[in-house]
Structures are given as C-alpha cells and as structure tokens.
Amino acid sequence: MKHIKIAILVAVCLFAASCEEGFYEQYPSNSITEGNFYRNDNDFNQAVGCCYLKLKTQMGWFLSETAYRSDECCLLSMTTSTQDRYDIDHFQESSSTSMLEDIWSAWYNGIYRCNDILDHLEGKESSLANGDKYKGEALFLRSWWYFNLYRTFGVVPIATDVVTPAAAKTIARCTESEMYDRLNLDLTEAIADLPSSRSAEVARVTKIAAQALLAKVDLTFGKYAEAKTLLESALADPNFGMMSTTGKAFDVNEKMNKEIIFAIYYNKADDNGHGAWYSSSTIVMSDILNPTTTIKSLYDAANDNRLALINTYTKSTTTNNQYFMTKWYDTFDPVYTTEQGNDFPLIRYADVILMYAEALAQTSDLPGAIDQLNRTRNRAGLVSLSDTDIATKTAFIQALADERGREFALEGQRWYDLVRLGLAVDYFKALGYTLDSHNLVFPIPQAEIEIVNNKSILWQNPGY
C-alpha cells in the first residue's frame, strides 16, 4: 500500500511538473488530465502533497548556497563543478549563474502547483472534507515561494492563477507594495484556514506557520507593529514551544517536535531520505573549513552549548572514515543504505521568539526585546544581558544578528537576516569582500529575460 501511495503521488507530481516546469514554459501531460483529476478530497490531498514534495528539489539553496553567500561557509578556490557556488560566495555571480536559474524555475513551479490547486478549489471548499485546510496549505506554500523569490531577486512577476505561457510573458515585475499586499492577503487567509494542531501527518503546516511567515514578511517590509501582534498570537499557541536545548530540536529521535513549526520532511525508512549533510572524512577540526572560523567566533566557546552542534563530528557507524556534524547527525538506513532522514527546519519556535525580540526593539520596547533575546541565550547556557549591556536599538540589532547567527547556524537564515537587519554590506566589507547595496539581491536569470524579451516587463536588477 505504501508503494501504491508513492506511485500515485509521483504521477500527480509529474503531471504538475509537466504542466509548467518554470514560469514561462509549459508542456503537455499524457497521463493525468484536467478531466480525470481534482474530483474528490483525496485528489486535492495528493496535489497538496506535490507542493510539499517540491520543497525538496531546492532545499540545497538553504542548506548550502545561502551558507556560502553568508559568513557560514567559504570556498577558497573553485573547480568546474563549484564555480557557481564560488561566485555566489565571493559576490561575483552573474545573470548566467545556473544555480539562480534553477531556483527561479523550481520556485515558480511550486507556485504553479499551488495555483493549480487554488484554481480547482474555487467554489468547492465546502464540499470537501478538508477543503479549507488544502486552501490554507496552498496559500501558505505559494507565499513561501513568493517571499523567497522576493528576498532573493527583489520584486518579481506575480501570478495568482494558472496562465498560459503567452500570458505569462505579459506579467510585469510587481511593485514593492503589490508584493507585500499579496503576501499579507494570502497569509492572513491561510491563518484563518489552517488548523491549530498537527494531524498524524506531522509535516503539514498549521496556523502558527502562517503567523510566523507573515510576521517575517512584516519585519522585512518594516511593518513592526503588525509583526508584534502576530508574534504575540504565535507565542500563545499551546501546541508549540522551545525544546530544552537547541540540540534537542535536531534530535532525529524526536523529529517534528514542538519546536519545529515548518520543515522539509524526510523519511529514510520509506526510501524518502537524503545523503549526509556536512560530513567529513577527517576529524581534525583545523582541516574543516565549513563552517568557517568567522561564524564560530560568534560563540562563547566555554559556555555556549550550541557551538558543539557545528563544531563536533561523530564517526559513522555504517561507513569507514566518515564523520557527521552533530547538528545534522543521523545514521544511514539499514535498507536504503545511502539515505539519512534528518528534517531541514525552515521555521522554528526559537525564530518566533527572536522575531518577537526584533519587533519589540523596532517598536521602542528595548527592555522587552532584551528579555526575549535572553530566552535563547539562557537555553544555550549563556548569562542574561541587561540594558547596561545593550543600551541602544543599534546595539540591540547587532546583538540580535549575532544571536540569530549562533542559533540558526547552517539553517539558511544568516544571509537573509543580515540583509533584513541592514548589516550585510558593512559587515562583509569588513571581512574583505567587495560589494555594495546592489549585491543584496541576485541578478534575474538571463534566460528568463530573453524569454520575455521586453525590459519594461522583466528587467535586470541594477548593477548586473
């Protein structure tokens, strides 16, 4: 039965992928058609599953590429296979960098999948057992992809329903306000539609995920009072909270625990795992460049229990001379012997706490912000900071950036945090990199610009 379900899901996803691999490309499907799908609750459930599955295709962007863009990882030299990553690491990427085309296409394909569901759901929600939930999930996931497109490329074309390739070429890049309005509208509705508690399918999003994502949108767009209100509601949710240590949140024996709000879910025992993350063939710490000494220097080495998560490795029990980083430690499955099953968290409860600290500081409640900052610090074994230690909002923003760097190391947050907090340019200049404000977003892939061939609709970001 398990394999039958997987086969159905794969077939549905192939249908979604074949319909529109990127924003501007469309191909025919020969297996599942508009006429024999989206008929019942199970069909919609399978289609939503395809949206979650799409998260996996570019999770490496958050695991690796943003780590190299930030100060978490570095490449001292390049090979043919690592040129894209080297260029991203050294702020030398161009509109022809293939990794950027890959994520643009993958994220727009995810948006297409959500739009296809939402188009077919219209008017049917009440007739389906879980219609509202499916709508909330599709709106959340579409918002996740649009928000990441915005954080990565700036304003982009927005489509809220399935369009033909010809029509897609006429949709211009949105304005800043149009992007915010779309994210705010969709996530507000998702909050209303999503359940408060998890079902047996633990990887599916709930209300707090939409609250947290909208709060991060608000912080990014400078709407701090709105973020504060959302985060207060999220923090009151009795179904979620912090684990006793950050390490516990990553314990593979407690997957999808109360701290994990939204994650890319894997199941190695179901042939649905992945290879090792941040593994090494040596245990000599001086030989391991990634993570960098720069990010490690943020930690109080004597007292911060989070440093060991990225600075210690455990020897594999199933392979010779291979060591796995503690934060991402798992064993290989005994049947699918090349697969591990760590989940990759995209939103944790600790993020809600530190976003709340950010919102409080930005709304002139510095004492309250420091109290929230101390929650993750204390859990890590560090002493509390006071208003004597952090006397100004500027000082707090720096302390917050450092704390987020320690708490979310190698979780795909560091680069976006430094940009949102207004620190990125000066920080990387101090590390010896050559960049300016244009580097805060990446270039629009040249292939997409050539498809549209109209610079009043899809134009290149300044400086590229």
The pLDDT-based confidence of 455 (bands split at 50, 70, 90) is very high
Structure tokens at 29: 């499907």
The pLDDT-based confidence of 77 (bands split at 50, 70, 90) is confident
pLDDT digits (tens, 9 = 90+) for 236-288: 999 999 999 999 999 999 999 999 999 999 999 999 999 999 998 877 666 67
The pLDDT-based confidence of 11 (bands split at 50, 70, 90) is very low
pLDDT for position 28: 44
Does the pLDDT of residue 79 top 90, yes or no?
A: no
pLDDT digits (tens, 9 = 90+) for 117-169: 999 999 888 899 999 999 999 999 999 999 999 999 999 999 999 999 999 99
Candidates 347, 309, 301, 304; CA nearest to 328 is: 309
Query: Model-level pTM?
Result: 0.93
The pLDDT-based confidence of 24 (bands split at 50, 70, 90) is very low
Angle between helices 349-362 and 207-220 (to 10 degrees): 40
Q: Where are the domains of the chain?
A: 268-342
Cα pseudo-dihedral 206, 204, 68, 100, rounded to 10: -100
- Taking CA 295 as the corner, what is the angle to CA 291 and CA 301, rounded to the nearest 5 degrees? 100
The span from the CA of 264 to the CA of 194, in Å, is 18
Query: 3-class secondary structure for 351-414?
Result: HHHHHHHHHHHHCCCHHHHHHHHHHHHHHCCCCCCCCCCCCCHHHHHHHHHHHHHHHCCCCCCH
315: left (phi over 0), alpha (psi -120 to 50) or beta: beta
The span from the CA of 136 to the CA of 213, in Å, is 13
Query: 3-class secondary structure for 151-182?
Result: HHHCCCECCCCCCCHHHHCCCCECCHHHHHHH
Candidates 382, 412, 250, 407; CA nearest to 325 is: 250
pLDDT digits (tens, 9 = 90+) for 286-326: 667 799 999 999 999 999 999 999 999 988 887 778 899 99
pLDDT for position 336: 94
Assign 3-state DSSP to the chain and report helix, strand, coil percentages, each to 5. Answer: 55, 5, 40
Q: Is-contact 264 59, C-beta < 8 A?
A: yes
Task: Name residue, tokens 């970001």.
Answer: 461
The span from the CA of 266 to the CA of 288, in Å, is 27
Q: Is-contact 140 193, C-beta < 8 A?
A: no
Does the pLDDT of residue 16 top 60, yes or no?
A: no
The span from the CA of 389 to the CA of 117, in Å, is 51
Residue 321: count other Cβ atoms within 10 Å of its Cβ: 10
pLDDT for position 271: 94
Mean of per-residue pLDDT scores for the chain: 92
